[in-house]
Structure 1
């Protein structure tokens, strides 16, 4: 009968060798390493960003104070990151300490994997010898003694080679499998929860500007099966009027578009004298400015000013901006009627005279209308997380395109 060998838990062996003072010092060093990591400011922004999204999505009025608060916090974290990076580059001692501490951590994790995978196949005193040397490494690390730390890390690496050289190459599979797991998690997050999307054109001006990068909530309408354009079931709710959605163009399926939902399944949509009518009911529309300037990209990929007419429009409970060309023909002009099929939505761009949308089959004037099937909808645009558009930081170096700090964390309404 074969005896079952219990895997050695190297962490427990090592903990038994530490004094209470060493444990406290180790915890303090761990927190110091975490808080001075270049990932720390980015992680904090991510942690604050999640409740910010929840807040502005569920309480839209909170954006008036939550957006500037998030912008100030983001700026503080950026300067913190820049300060940490400068410190790293200037302080050779700090760089060396982090390098050898990282090597020691990798060696310890490697030893844990080997002991867990090969119980009973290593020398009986292997765990004790590794733990003894690991304590020496920790002592040098806590003392911040760079030469001694380097010496002890090299000794630990040599001990690894002596005790389980034949098994070290197998740990490459652990690295590959770890990378594969991280990739699968990233793909799941992108498929189910959130996806970035870059605004390529001015069809959604002034709500979304060219160069805005938005996060898309992929969970709200239900999980969409990629390439099959099928949503098996909904999670939170179906698309609602006023939502700004990213969808796979049903006419040219290799393209993604972003537009605003205007019509829902079974509804009759008409645009009469620039005013949207839903089942014969005109939607509220108020003139804000008859000379509103927006920046657009010309066919030569150059920024140019466009003079437009700005309106404030209400679609159900969603109040948003909409543009018309000052040359738009006035009088008894009617677009439609458009009857929205079941499980489809009718969409329009906020820049009404510069948008290939449902009215023109996502192609252009003279084409029959087209509607967006539920299965083609990727999700609801939530917030601008980055903007590389007209003006802003360093725009003089890049033909007018710069980092638009004022657009960061802008809710999509």
Structure 2
């Protein structure tokens, strides 16, 4: 059937306007309530709620660090609630299969109506008023069956609308394949932009940052704080927020072993002279004070393809240019009485792991085993912000996976 023989006198009037004219206020209210109910009982709902809460949480712990004392437990309780929510939704689908079928049919009906609405918007004025009216009448029948929770009737009316749309919209509907493809490409582009320029996950592979970061921690890194790297290059055209500062925990592309990404703490910035005297950091001749917190702390390490094993170390709190964080030392005295001095060149940073005597950092060529190695600004991917997942020693189900389990106590831990 031709779709252009009689055009609408009002090009903006399409399926939505025709449907709106046929709904009663009660139907409109019921339709909105049903849509919200469907959204809140979707398996995606718990994840969306956590995601919406996570964004302000990131801002809070970044700009108001002391707030993490109450904000982190709040996020952990919310996650537990959302886990219970998710399990309840899954259980409901198993116990009430008819409701799940009805939910599936409603989804198909909404997708079909949305497709027809998109066609009207894509070709305004080219679809006749008569065609729009017929489609709107059938779409309202679909909505009525959906509101009545009539699975059989909904399936029947949806099939009728699908057949009618194929007959009346003809070639317009075939063009919907390109709409789907272009929509997919837009979503993919957004995901790539987020990962390349805004935020990226990183998994902690070793114990070099113990106790701040444990093996199996999954962290999010802020990709734009220091300036966005141009794709496929190690070039940062300009700083966005600020340059790397002492005490920042950064993820960077190893300039010596370029196939690897490392995570370390910035200890020296351009122009600094960095030394270690019996384990204490000295910057430009000024000692960075540290205090002994615990003489015998047990941490768990796990090199590749080996079981977890305990390490007995001394725990210190180090004040690095005003940023207090934990560092480890194996014995009462450091392995080396004096290290350095290391002079940090322009456009570079000097990095070390918090597990000071078990870290392939700038002092040891970043794993190359020869000389000192600094990290160019262009190799820095971003600043570590928060632990969003922790699959480390102990925790849930660790008995099933050789000691590795879900560490809920580390969820949403700020990286300090």
| In structure 2, distance between residues paired with 1:24 and 1:114 | 26
**Residue from 395, 398, 406 that aligns with 2:409:** 406
Cα deviation, residue 262, structure 1: 0.2
**Residue from 368, 392, 404 that aligns with 2:395:** 392
Counterpart for residue 60 of structure 2: 55
Counterpart for residue 214 of structure 2: 209
Cα deviation, residue 137, structure 1: 0.5
**Residue from 240, 244, 256 that aligns with 2:245:** 240
Extract unaligned runs of 5+ from structure 1.
Answer: none
| In structure 1, distance between residues paired with 2:205 and 2:170 | 54
Counterpart for residue 319 of structure 2: 314
**Residue from 375, 378, 383 that aligns with 1:375:** 378
**Residue from 336, 343, 366 that aligns with 1:339:** 343
Moved more, 300-309 or 389-398: 300-309
Per-residue CA shift, 1:152-176, capped at 9, x if unaligned?
1111111112112433332111111
Please say if residues 217 and 379 of structure 1, whose CA atoms lie closer than 8 Å, have aligned partners that are also in contact.
Answer: yes
| In structure 1, distance between residues paired with 2:247 and 2:334 | 25
Counterpart for residue 25 of structure 1: 30
1:354 is the counterpart of 2:358: yes
**Residue from 166, 172, 193 that aligns with 2:198:** 193
Cα deviation, residue 97, structure 1: 1.4
Equivalent residue runs for 1:83-162 within 5 Å? 83-119=88-124, 121-122=126-127, 124-162=129-167
Moved more, 401-410 or 90-99: 90-99
| In structure 2, distance between residues paired with 1:163 and 1:395 | 59
Cα deviation, residue 57, structure 1: 1.2
Please say if residues 245 and 377 of structure 1, whose CA atoms lie closer than 8 Å, have aligned partners that are also in contact.
Answer: yes
Per-residue CA shift, 1:166-212, capped at 9, x if unaligned?
33332111111111000000111111211110000000000000000
Counterpart for residue 182 of structure 2: 177
Aligned residues: 409
Provide closer, same or farther for how the CA distance between residues 60 and 117 of structure 1 changes in structure 2, counting only shifts above 3 A. Answer: closer
Please say if residues 8 and 116 of structure 1, whose CA atoms lie closer than 8 Å, have aligned partners that are also in contact.
Answer: no
**Residue from 288, 297, 304 that aligns with 2:293:** 288
TM-score by length of 2: 0.94
| In structure 1, distance between residues paired with 2:75 and 2:304 | 36
SS at match of 1:125: helix
Please say if residues 328 and 353 of structure 1, whose CA atoms lie closer than 8 Å, have aligned partners that are also in contact.
Answer: no
| In structure 1, distance between residues paired with 2:106 and 2:334 | 70
Moved more, 262-271 or 124-133: 124-133
Cα deviation, residue 123, structure 1: 5.2
Cα deviation, residue 124, structure 1: 4.7
| In structure 2, distance between residues paired with 1:387 and 1:338 | 34
| In structure 1, distance between residues paired with 2:28 and 2:299 | 60
Cα deviation, residue 214, structure 1: 0.3
SS at match of 1:410: coil
Extract unaligned runs of 5+ from structure 2.
Answer: 1-5
**Residue from 226, 229, 239 that aligns with 2:231:** 226
| In structure 2, distance between residues paired with 1:143 and 1:267 | 72
Q: Where in structure 1 do 4 or more consecutive aligned residues deviate above 6 Å?
A: none
CA RMSD of the aligned region, Å? Answer: 1.8
| In structure 2, distance between residues paired with 1:136 and 1:394 | 50
Per-residue CA shift, 1:268-302, capped at 9, x if unaligned?
00111111100011101111222211100145421
Per-residue CA shift, 1:23-45, capped at 9, x if unaligned?
11111111111211112111111
